Amino acid sequence: MSSRRTRIIAALLMAPVAIAGVYYLPTDYLAPIVAAILLMGLWEWSALAGLTEQIPRALYIAGNALMMLALTWGSGPGLLPFKLISFIGALWWLVVMLWLWKFEFAKADTSINRSIKLLAGSLSVIPAWCALAWLHSKVDSSIGPRWALFALAIAWAADSGAYFAGVRYGKTKLAPRISPGKSWEGVIGGVAAILLLAVVAIPWLGLLWSELPELLLLTVITMIFSVIGDLFESLMKRHSGFKDSSSLIPGHGGLMDRLDSLLAVLPIFVIGKSWLDL
């Protein structure tokens, strides 16, 4: 079976499960499931960061799990800690843009650089988890699950549009030192896919057509950061010499290879949604 066909089949099997979980599960049930998935992704990240021994990797995962538990126990009805961490996460992805520009930063396999990369993993994962829980909950909206699905769909549509457009038309490299397979033509395909998604989603999200410009703006900004999230994980793989974060998912690689863009999308989307008052 070709790699492309394997990739498509795996996506078609995973997507209904993810959609059903986000749409139907209450936030109190969805949050721990997503936390477990993200922690599994962090396990892969710890290898990209340079940790090789099992006990240090397990301690790293345990520390992040305890942070998630502390945030859960410390949150009141307004989810203030989740909102604060989401905001920190959005700021973090602005820092990542500088890291992508300074390609060689923390590349050498030293204890300090490993620590920086482990911190980067936590700053990517925990805010994304907080943002999803905040967005999915019905504290701010009676249709939180729809907004959560829409945020995830931006990353999925951008990735799919970029993949197929890149395969068919890709010639101009986006970031050849980081990810040679990505092209500007793929980015254009991703933009076309997410703009169509936003137009279709307007009534489903309970918005007025007059609010379409704000939704399109939010969608495009979110899509830009989905590319940044993807490139950041690619940079970590370049530094470590890995092709994929693992071989867990046929045709896709590891969990982190599927989560990378979502980690950036979620905090950016939820902060942008609040700022635009959608």
- Reported as a pLDDT band with limits 50, 70 and 90, residue 163 is confident
- Statement: residue 177 has pLDDT above 90: no
- Reported as a pLDDT band with limits 50, 70 and 90, residue 147 is very high
- Statement: residue 186 has pLDDT above 70: yes
Q: Name the more confident of 152 and 6.
A: 152
What's residue 222's pLDDT? 96
- Statement: residue 43 has pLDDT above 70: yes
What's residue 252's pLDDT? 59
Q: Which of 9-13, 122-126, 246-250 shows the lowest mean pLDDT across its residues?
A: 246-250
Q: What is the pTM of this model?
A: 0.91
Calculate helix-pair angle for 255-276, 111-136, nearest 10 degrees.
50
Q: Are 85 and 79 within 8 A, CB to CB?
A: no
- Statement: residue 116 has pLDDT above 90: yes
Q: Which amino acid is at 259?
A: L
Name the residue among 262, 267, 237, 210 with its Cα closest to residue 89.
267
Q: Are 190 and 159 within 8 A, CB to CB?
A: yes
Sign of CA dihedral 204, 225, 119, 84: negative
User: Distance between CA 253 and CA 244 in Å, rounded?
Assistant: 5
- Statement: residue 224 has pLDDT above 90: yes
Name the residue among 69, 133, 136, 125 with its Cα closest to residue 93.
125
- Statement: residue 1 has pLDDT above 60: no
Q: Are 253 and 247 within 8 A, CB to CB?
A: yes
- Statement: residue 4 has pLDDT above 70: no
Please report the beta strands in the chain, taking only residues with DSSP state E, as ranges in sequence order. 173-175, 179-183
